[in-house]
A and B are shown apart, each in its own frame.
Chain A
Amino acid sequence: MTPEELELLVVGKDSFEHFRKAFSDLSDAERRNLSKTAQKLFRDIHRSSNAWDFEAAKGASDRLNKLLKKAHNESVKKTATGHIFTRPDWVDSLQKRATLALVAVAPISALKSDTVWFRSIEDQVFQIVQDRKPDWLGEWIEHLIAAEWPRVSFPFVVKLIENDLIPKPETDNYISSYANWLMRTTNGRNDKRRVPPISQQLKSSPLLMEDVYRVFAVESNAFNTNGWLRKGAELDYETWTEALLKMVEDGTLDRKRVLEESLAALTADLKSNQLSGITKFHKQLRASPAELKANEENYRELFASPFGPVARFGLDQLAVLYKAKNLDMGLFLNDLPTLFSLPVKSHPVAAIKLLGRMAKSDPKFIEDIFGALLPALNHENVDVQTIAIEMFELHSENLSPQLREDIASNSQFISPHLTSRLSSLSGKDNAEAEAFVEDLNDSLEVLKNTSDSDRVSWGLDLLSEKPFTYRPITSDIMQLRVLHTVAPIEPIQTQDELLSAIATYIEMPLDKTEAERIADGIARIPRIEDADFQARIIPLMHRLGMSEDAEYEVAPGGRQFANLVKTYLSLKFKSNIVDSASDWYSESQRRKLREVAPMQTHFRLLTSLIAKGSTPGRLCAPTHENGWICPLTWVDRLSVVQNRHDIDDIDLSFSLLRLAPDNRLEAAAKTLMLSGRFRDLAAFVLGADETPNISRSLKIEVWMSAARARNPLKDWSEAFAHLNLSSNVAGSISPRSLGWKTENAKIYEDRIVFENTILEPPKKRLFKRVVSVNEKRLPTGMLGQHPIRKRYHYEDVTAEERQWRATLFPLYPAMSYRSAIRGMISRIDTKSNSFEPVHGAMNALFQKNRPWSEMAYLVLCLALFGRDADAQRLSIDALVEGIDSGQLDPERFVSTLERLSRTDWVKLNRPGPAMLQVAQVSPLHAYIIADVLSKWLPKLETKRRALGDLLDVSLQSMALANSGVRPVFRVYLESFNGSSKAAKVAKSILKLPDVSTEDRSDLRSMAIRSRLRYVYSM
């Protein structure tokens, strides 16, 4: 056969018999000669016919390309609305013939390729290989069946084996294919033949029967109990379990071997579903006492299984043996402790109960029984620890000195509320339980040197009083200094440093504060176009040019920052950049993307100035982390730029909003160096002037920003009344105080949808307009505003961007929570997700010395109730730091928890583990958590049975804090009855000793010491 004849066979329409005959007598050498042609034909045909347009194959014959062109013409059908592509049927035949030609002449290496797929022509392939009989056939089939998704059917492999063409494959996949094939319910859509029961199939084929015992050891669906596997089955259908039981019963299978093989499978590395199925199967074999005894060691081995039901199965089988008084107690008790490493509680509890029965019936083994019980004290579940202690207590008079020693050595792992019981058992005091007493005098000494105002602002006076009462910091946000709590930002000094910073930021556009530092460098450092500069910017421009998409990511709040960088590098200014963070929004929605609009406008103006070669500086560049600007630096900046005619009013407004509360009076003293309009502005914002001396030389939006920066929560309407402003949006001259409600929550298509969650003060329209206000140039008016989607909230803002938005008005970060809350609510039952992060807004909770607003508590509680691990971990951090710093007000926290828990869409079990972790930080934290729970839980009257976990946290927190039960909480706990977990824990709490807070010098010391860190330094 010549290569051309081969091609004619493939593209022709001859019958398969003719096709087969043409290849059947070829020698190996002839096949080798044709191999390249067959491989190229196969590649060309598959590549071309798998492409929608049947593109011509390079180097292919005219004949083939003509055929492909024909296929293309036939596949395209024009319709009124466009084109429809349908592949002609004969193309499939063409592909199949190309595959068969490949099988007929190609070497094994070509046939192993993933692209060779012939399930639908296995009959023809069988005939071709039967003629060819290559010596590598077995290896090839082994390769195909060993693939993750076997590429040959099981009957095809069996047919090859039965015809002595290949040996039986060794791969496990052969057995899994075997098991899955025998348990099929139908023979496929086109084959209506009835599928015989498994036992019948096995009995009719010695080849199949050979492997029946291997079905236990290999991963397959054989013991899968999912119902869908029986769908469409005949009435006499058998599962593998049924078939095996039947064949054991009728003696076809060796019962002893089936018992052993099924038991051995339970120690193999199989998936849980299969293991579960095998345990059920083994139970149905109903092993006799003799059989149990024979496999006793194998059952004990199951204790080491990481899969709980398997370990439990071993325990149950041996319990039967124990009941039959035929258990080797020594070996059993030696191996049992492994079972206590299972994290779930039910199986260890079953083991303890069995040990309890043994201790009662077999006192001679009491030492070994208690030895086996010891690891239960280390179990992570408190219930397991409790039951173990109860058992020790029951036999306390029989505990040997050595055992008491061993119990004591395990005390370090015990839950705090159980330590006293354990100490009674061991006869030793638990070192962990010793009260944590700090020397209060040191703290009080430092307190003496603290100013009166600081003592009041940070609640230190009240903390040092008796009895100990935790007090949060003041809510007067202007009284608390912040700059000592945050790191200063080092400005970029040189062009070289600036270019390096740009290069790094383009690759790692995460820290938006870094973007602002770069913007500051661009605005300040003169551009010098020396050779080094040229060499540096070429790869940068190349990189930026390559990655248009990166513009979305690199910019804080949109594309303008990327445009600023590009303009700086090239001096080519693009004025038509759309201000959008994302193209997901329609044009109308983009216009509503208000939150960052003022910053975008600022960047655009700065870019235009840079394009002209100017270095205007940037007033709003933060001097410290979290967006803060030191007032002293701010006055210096103003004095440098005050004579420029191109000062950007939005830049000025942002600089006002970022002014720290620190050093304001000192900075006010420096305002004399400023010219008239700036002197008045600075004097007002820094506190020298009580009311603004508003002049028209600065825009009205700047004065409004100054008012907000002077005191964000004050209503300045009176000071601005004489101007007759065009509007009074929230956050302009009147404060912006947000509330929230949960009544509109609805569960819609797995998402909780809120309408009008946030309550805002209504916008007032003032008709006697004299001075017009441009809201788009007023940052505080825009903050927190975001395009609203009615049904879904898809968070298009990265976590870093969200964090950065909180730095736009750090004095009062409540606004930054607003647009994030919808996202947190809608994703409350969703795991953490990099695509829709919700935790970014929580950054503002960590701004030191900022009392938390109502929105802050809402965000905190939503994170606690949410399933998002990132947000929940941050809520733990916020609570830990909030207690240390005094930002957490327990009363407001309880109020928010209580309001949220009134809804039916929060899950009460979620905050418990997080709260416990907070409690474990120190006795002070435990004290606050216990306090919060004791006030919150009594308000959840209707959900008592669901409170077991939270009451457990309450119990452990009280034990950790060594605090007593408050009277109101006591009354509440006493009302619990029944045998629910909640009732049991309530009783345990009531048993705690009543401890007075009168002399809690440890708590006072901790509270003062941690609070002082926030007064002075971090």
Chain B
Amino acid sequence: MAAIDFTYQYGFFSKVAANSNGRPGLSLATFSADATQPYFFDGRARAPRELGMMMYTLSEVVRTHYFKPMPTLLDPVLTSHEDLLRLEGFSGCCGVYARIDLPAESFDSTRQGRGTTNVDFNQPMRNALLRLRDGEDVDFAVGKDEVALSRGGDRVVEKKVKLPLRWIKSFSEVQSYQKRLKLKFEVPAAEALRFSRSLPKSSGPKQVSYAVQTGRNLRLSMRPQRGAVKFTGTHRVKAIESLLPLAQKLRVWASKDEGTSAWEVVLSSGSFLLVLSPEVHRGFSGEGQLLEELARAPEESVIAQIRAQLAWGAHISTDDVSKKLGMETRVVEDVIAVLSTRGLAGYDAISENYFHRELPFDLSKVEAMQPRLKGARRLVDEKGVQINGGGVFLVRGTGTIHQVKLDDDGKGQCTCPWYSKHQGNRGPCKHILAAQITQETDA
């Protein structure tokens, strides 16, 4: 497993402790890509119990590997927008994406900076999160003033981890899945809780499962039905169970074919989104959904122009950007795909908009980690692609020649096993990419 040795260097341990004013305070320690410990936010939580439970659930997801019993010790990523705090993370297997959205209304805030940072989640803080209660005033801070002053001093808390590249890569791949999600149904929290409790605690079904809504009732089924949401790994959905007693409702989103689903727990002070990959053993990292956009590779000047529009926005519409810059929406989409792979943009399925964030990691290795694209470029370089006319290409395969057909929109079909098996649902094969690159070059 490709991983980088990464050291989180926090200014202090995140904790829940009594502040100087006597109120309990939740302080999250920060650490960014430029090795600073930014101070983004200071305020008072209006619903401390919900805040605590959402953060606890996120930390549970991030420290769980849903496929193998492997410990993971990764920390979530927090982005502070003008009107929103957003925490994101993946499970150790990269098959579950969890996100907390905390709008400004959830706090009485005195300071809200903009930027992205890692935040320290440690065991004592996790325990303390469960003890936050509504009805008590709880201060909430992301970063600390004095931390910046003590940087490099003895008080820095170091956590050395093997940060899997696929964990970082998942941040870009999950966007393309979210774009295909549509709202399927919503149920009251009590019904959602009953549904979650009906899911097997252990030794769940090995087959594909479906969430079926009949009236207000939500139930688990093994049978495909109209309107049902397909998912695998009932234990993955149970991750939200502890939030449901506090929630208002559960909204379930799903893609049409591939089996990605999103479970949005709506609470009074924010929302918790859990996105599940199509299969338990499939992480979001290896999907290659953005390869076509990457193969088209817009010019850096165009990328820079669009990047300038992001401006730490929490809701960025590609239509708005294209109108503003006078560019085609497709070009904007392509550029944002490239920015996603660079960790600079995320997608919010609920508002159907992009958002700006800058992943706090060194992403140079991640960009290079697109084996299919690398393979396609090698095929082109080694003259492994032959143009046959009429959108047909003959591309060298392993021990054989594959036929690729590109339609007018550049979408392709190939005779290779990868395409035959996935029909493009897991991104294009390297033969289609090679044909697309050849076609672009030829044009």
Please indicate whether A and B come from the same complex rather than being unrelated chains: yes
In the complex, the chain A residue whose C-beta lies closest to that of B413 is A500
Question: Of A304, A341, A799, A873, which contacts B209 at CB under 8 A?
Answer: A873
The CA-CA distance from A335 to B204 in the complex, in Å, is 33
> Given the interface contacts A301-B131, A335-B131, does A921 sit within 8 Å of B209 by beta carbon?
no
In the complex, the chain A residue whose C-beta lies closest to that of B49 is A337
Q: Is the CB of B401 within 8 A of A504?
A: no
The CA-CA distance from A412 to B216 in the complex, in Å, is 13
> Given the interface contacts A380-B197, A922-B215, does A869 sit within 8 Å of B204 by beta carbon?
yes
Contact with A along B203-226 (1 / 0, CB 8 A): 111110100001101011111000
| Interface residue range, chain B | 35 or more
> Given the interface contacts A304-B131, A539-B400, A834-B206, does A870 sit within 8 Å of B222 by beta carbon?
yes
A residues less than 8 Å from B133 (CB atoms): 334, 337
Judge if A267 is at the interface, Cβ distance under 8 Å.
yes
3 closest A-B pairs (Cβ-Cβ)?
A507-B421, A412-B190, A503-B420
In the complex, the chain B residue whose C-beta lies closest to that of A505 is B420
Question: Of A268, A304, A539, A921, which contacts B397 at CB under 8 A?
Answer: A539
B residues less than 8 Å from A268 (CB atoms): 123
Q: Is the CB of B415 within 8 A of A412?
A: no
Judge if A711 is at the interface, Cβ distance under 8 Å.
no
Q: Is the CB of A504 within 8 A of B400?
A: no
Q: Is the CB of A504 within 8 A of B423?
A: yes
Where chain A touches its partner, the secondary structure class is helix
Judge if B326 is at the interface, Cβ distance under 8 Å.
no
The CA-CA distance from A832 to B209 in the complex, in Å, is 14
A residues less than 8 Å from B397 (CB atoms): 539
> Given the interface contacts A335-B131, A539-B402, A874-B222, does A508 sit within 8 Å of B421 by beta carbon?
yes
A residues less than 8 Å from B423 (CB atoms): 504
> Given the interface contacts A413-B245, A870-B222, does A920 sit within 8 Å of B206 by beta carbon?
no
The CA-CA distance from A508 to B417 in the complex, in Å, is 10
Contact with A along B162-205 (1 / 0, CB 8 A): 00000000000000000000000000111001100110110111
B residues less than 8 Å from A538 (CB atoms): 400-401
Judge if B403 is at the interface, Cβ distance under 8 Å.
yes
Judge if B273 is at the interface, Cβ distance under 8 Å.
no
B residues less than 8 Å from A301 (CB atoms): 127-128, 131
CB proximity of B53 to chain A, nearest CB, Å: 9
Q: Is the CB of B399 within 8 A of A920?
A: no
Q: Is the CB of A873 within 8 A of B401?
A: no
Judge if A1005 is at the interface, Cβ distance under 8 Å.
no
Q: Is the CB of A267 within 8 A of B205?
A: no
Where chain B touches its partner, the secondary structure class is mixed
A residues less than 8 Å from B193 (CB atoms): 378, 413
CB neighbors of A among B41-81 (8 A): none
The CA-CA distance from A917 to B214 in the complex, in Å, is 13
CB proximity of B223 to chain A, nearest CB, Å: 5
Judge if A861 is at the interface, Cβ distance under 8 Å.
no
CB proximity of B273 to chain A, nearest CB, Å: 21
Question: Of B123, B206, B403, B417, which contacts A870 at CB under 8 A?
Answer: B206
The CA-CA distance from A831 to B399 in the complex, in Å, is 42
> Given the interface contacts A870-B207, A877-B221, does A536 sit within 8 Å of B415 by beta carbon?
yes
In the complex, the chain B residue whose C-beta lies closest to that of A381 is B197
Q: Is the CB of B131 within 8 A of A343?
A: no
Q: What is the interface size of chain A, counting residues whose CB is below 8 A from a CB of the partner?
A: 56
CB neighbors of A among B77-136 (8 A): 123-124, 127-128, 130-131, 133, 136
B residues less than 8 Å from A917 (CB atoms): 198, 219-220
The CA-CA distance from A539 to B198 in the complex, in Å, is 47
Judge if B242 is at the interface, Cβ distance under 8 Å.
yes
The CA-CA distance from A639 to B222 in the complex, in Å, is 41
Interface pairs (19), CB distance under 8 Å: A267-B124, A303-B131, A338-B131, A375-B245, A413-B193, A500-B420, A503-B415, A504-B421, A507-B421, A539-B416, A540-B415, A867-B203, A869-B205, A870-B207, A880-B219, A880-B221, A917-B198, A920-B194, A921-B219
Q: Is the CB of A535 within 8 A of B221?
A: no
Q: Is the CB of B214 within 8 A of A921?
A: yes
Judge if B280 is at the interface, Cβ distance under 8 Å.
no
Contact with B along A782-815 (1 / 0, CB 8 A): 0000000000000000010000000000000000
CB proximity of B123 to chain A, nearest CB, Å: 5
Judge if A465 is at the interface, Cβ distance under 8 Å.
no
Judge if B394 is at the interface, Cβ distance under 8 Å.
yes
* 17 extra interface residue pairs, beta carbon distance < 8 Å, beyond A304-B127, A832-B203: A300-B131, A303-B130, A334-B131, A338-B131, A341-B130, A378-B193, A413-B190, A506-B420, A507-B420, A538-B401, A799-B207, A831-B203, A834-B206, A874-B222, A876-B220, A881-B223, A917-B219
A residues less than 8 Å from B200 (CB atoms): 869
Judge if A543 is at the interface, Cβ distance under 8 Å.
yes
Question: Of B194, B201, B207, B417, which contacts A343 at CB under 8 A?
Answer: B201
The CA-CA distance from A877 to B219 in the complex, in Å, is 10
The CA-CA distance from A503 to B217 in the complex, in Å, is 41
Q: Is the CB of B205 within 8 A of A870?
A: yes
CB neighbors of B among A363-383 (8 A): 375, 378, 380
Q: Is the CB of A412 within 8 A of B188?
A: yes
CB proximity of B354 to chain A, nearest CB, Å: 34
Q: Is the CB of B190 within 8 A of A539?
A: no
> Given the interface contacts A267-B127, A301-B127, does A542 sit within 8 Å of B194 by beta carbon?
no
B residues less than 8 Å from A341 (CB atoms): 130, 242
The CA-CA distance from A76 to B167 in the complex, in Å, is 50
Question: Of A504, A873, A880, which contacts B420 at CB under 8 A?
Answer: A504
B residues less than 8 Å from A432 (CB atoms): 190
> Given the interface contacts A870-B207, A873-B205, A922-B217, does A539 sit within 8 Å of B421 by beta carbon?
no
In the complex, the chain B residue whose C-beta lies closest to that of A543 is B417
The CA-CA distance from A543 to B413 in the complex, in Å, is 17
CB neighbors of A among B283-329 (8 A): none
The CA-CA distance from A379 to B217 in the complex, in Å, is 19
The CA-CA distance from A538 to B128 in the complex, in Å, is 63
Contact with B along A520-538 (1 / 0, CB 8 A): 0000000000001001101
Judge if A184 is at the interface, Cβ distance under 8 Å.
no
> Given the interface contacts A301-B131, A413-B193, A539-B416, does A378 sit within 8 Å of B206 by beta carbon?
no
The CA-CA distance from A538 to B415 in the complex, in Å, is 9
CB neighbors of B among A232-271 (8 A): 267-269
CB proximity of B249 to chain A, nearest CB, Å: 12
B residues less than 8 Å from A535 (CB atoms): 394, 401, 403, 415
B residues less than 8 Å from A832 (CB atoms): 203, 205-207
B residues less than 8 Å from A300 (CB atoms): 131
Judge if A833 is at the interface, Cβ distance under 8 Å.
yes
Q: Is the CB of B400 within 8 A of A542?
A: yes
The CA-CA distance from A507 to B219 in the complex, in Å, is 32
CB neighbors of B among A839-868 (8 A): 839, 846, 867
The CA-CA distance from A542 to B399 in the complex, in Å, is 8
B residues less than 8 Å from A539 (CB atoms): 397, 400-403, 415-416
CB neighbors of B among A815-844 (8 A): 831-834, 839
In the complex, the chain B residue whose C-beta lies closest to that of A305 is B127
In the complex, the chain A residue whose C-beta lies closest to that of B124 is A267
A residues less than 8 Å from B416 (CB atoms): 539
Question: Of B189, B215, B221, which contacts A873 at CB under 8 A?
Answer: B221
The CA-CA distance from A540 to B397 in the complex, in Å, is 12
Q: Which of A378, A873, A913, A917 has the most chain B CB within a 10 Å cutoff? A: A873
Q: Which of B128, B194, B400 has the most chain A CB within a 10 Å cutoff? A: B400
The CA-CA distance from A535 to B405 in the complex, in Å, is 12
The CA-CA distance from A566 to B340 in the complex, in Å, is 44
The CA-CA distance from A881 to B399 in the complex, in Å, is 50
In the complex, the chain A residue whose C-beta lies closest to that of B246 is A378
B residues less than 8 Å from A536 (CB atoms): 403, 415
Q: Is the CB of B245 within 8 A of A839?
A: no
> Given the interface contacts A338-B131, A508-B421, does A920 sit within 8 Å of B217 by beta carbon?
yes
Q: Which of B207, B219, B402 has the most chain A CB within a 10 Å cutoff? A: B207
In the complex, the chain A residue whose C-beta lies closest to that of B189 is A412
CB proximity of B413 to chain A, nearest CB, Å: 8
B residues less than 8 Å from A880 (CB atoms): 219, 221
